[in-house]
Amino acid sequence: MLDHDIPALLVNATGDPRTLYAGAEAMREQWPSSRLLTVEGARQHGLYGEFGNACVDGRVNTYLRTGRLPAHDLTCEA
């Protein structure tokens, strides 16, 4: 792990009006130990616990419960 690398679960929608998806991709590249959970087709900023997407909520809950990141980046449909 690099000194500036952070093993985090990043959650971002492709149509986020506040945090552009390109920014999430750039952060994922800067933090190779992280994983990116993409919400495809959503135009929403607040996702976890707010957007009402069972795929997002379930994946984030699993991460929070276990403390383990998924093996690879994931995608949920809006």
Question: Which long-range contacts does 60-66 make (Cβ < 8 Å, 24+ apart)?
Answer: 60/9, 60/11, 63/9
Residues 6+ apart with CB under 8 A from 42: 13, 14, 15, 16, 51, 53, 78
Q: What is the DSSP letter of 71?
A: S
- Does 1 score more than 70 pLDDT? no
Average pLDDT score over residue span 65-72:
97
Q: Cβ distance 31 to 9 under 8 Å? A: no
pLDDT at 23: 96
9-65 pLDDT, tens digit per residue, is: 999 999 999 999 999 999 999 999 999 999 999 999 899 988 889 999 999 999 999
Residue 41's nearest CA partner among 67, 61, 14 is 14
